[in-house]
Amino acid sequence: MKRLLAVLALLGAVGAIVFWIVTAPETTDAKALAGIVADVEQGAAVFVAGGCASCHAAADAKDGARLELVGGRAFPSDFGTFYAPNISPHPSAGIGGWSALDLVNAMRHGTSPDGAHYFPAFPYTTYQNATLGDIVSLHAYLQTLPAVDTPSKPHDVGFPFNIRRSLGGWKLLFLRPGWVMQDAATPQLERGRYLVEALGHCGECHTPRNLLGAVQTGRWMAGAPNPSGSGKIPNITRTKLDWSGPDLLYYFTTGFTPEFDTAGGHMGDVIENLSQMPEADLNAIVAYIQALPAAQ
């Protein structure tokens, strides 16, 4: 019996060590950023395309107040309620002390500057496909915005989902860089794919998730329950969406559907971002949506 217990203890210790190793947060080597020059103007475009203000500005923010990235918006889920953090350039309340590499690690790996895993409520599962140049430029742009001293609100997530190290296991299972639409046959489709699958993170809302909260890429853009518990986020593949290209473009710039309904909820924030984007980018998103295969 003593020998058996010793073997079990040894196996447990080995298992714990292996778990600790394989769940370690990943980072990007600083050498990867060598030679990349930040472009603040490009960073502003990434900020809009990435919808940063939609989550990190106050819920009632308008116009210039949308650039005060105070955080605080609540995002309910089956695992608890997550709150968008302050990402203003405040040195302590925000991310003013972050380097460009810190932002790369957060967006590409879901890893914080102190080496902890971020919850995937922060859509690094999508942002991981963003180019290093775009992230470095976004970092430079964020540093130009107003610093706000409001502290971030802690997430309301209970046991066992609040065990950050276990997110390393989740990432091993589900964090996969690469494109859902494998064949982007034209430069316009390639641009649309980048805007949708890397910056815009549209699939995070419009695609159903499995029991562990990972996006089911096999049912890409097929619609999903609204995390708030009210209603459903629509299927935007040809199975349900029959809008023309001009219909989509008009919706993106005005928020009005062909039936003269208006975008509501979080989609209103998305329209706020889309309406600021160049028409060529909007047409690329339209082309991408119209190229999506039908999904139930």
Q: What is the pLDDT of residues 108-144, one digit of tens each?
A: 999 999 999 999 999 999 999 999 999 999 999 999 9
- With 0-12 CB in 10 A as exposed, 13-18 as middle and 19+ as buried, what is 86? buried
C-beta of residue 87 within 8 angstroms of C-beta of residue 107: no
pLDDT-based confidence at residue 84 (cuts at 50, 70, 90): very high
Are residues 153 and 198 located together in one domain of the fold? no
Which domain CATH number covers 246?
Answer: 1.10.760
* Domain termination site, one of 174, 199, 215: 174
Are residues 111 and 161 located together in one domain of the fold? yes
Q: What is the pLDDT of residues 194-232, one digit of tens each?
A: 999 999 888 888 899 998 889 999 999 898 888 766 778
Are residues 164 and 244 located together in one domain of the fold? no
Host domain of residue 145: 37-174
Are residues 166 and 201 located together in one domain of the fold? no
Q: What is the mean pLDDT of residues 48-64?
A: 86
pLDDT-based confidence at residue 17 (cuts at 50, 70, 90): low
Residue 275 resides in a domain: yes
Q: What is the mean pLDDT of residues 160-173?
A: 86
Are residues 163 and 53 located together in one domain of the fold? yes
* Domain termination site, one of 174, 205, 235: 174
Q: What is the pLDDT at residue 30?
A: 93
Count of structural domains within the chain: 2
* Domain termination site, one of 111, 141, 174: 174
Q: Pick the most confident of 51-65, 108-122, 200-214, 237-251.
A: 108-122
Q: What is the pLDDT at residue 11?
A: 53
Q: What is the pLDDT at residue 115?
A: 92
Are residues 191 and 275 located together in one domain of the fold? yes
Are residues 47 and 156 located together in one domain of the fold? yes
Residue 86 resides in a domain: yes
Instruction: Please give the model's pTM, rounded to 2 decimal places.
Output: 0.90
Q: What is the pLDDT at residue 62?
A: 79
Are residues 192 and 159 located together in one domain of the fold? no
Q: Pick the most confident of 42-51, 73-82, 270-279.
A: 42-51
Are residues 170 and 203 located together in one domain of the fold? no
Are residues 51 and 154 located together in one domain of the fold? yes
Q: What is the pLDDT at residue 139?
A: 98
174's tokens: 């589900």
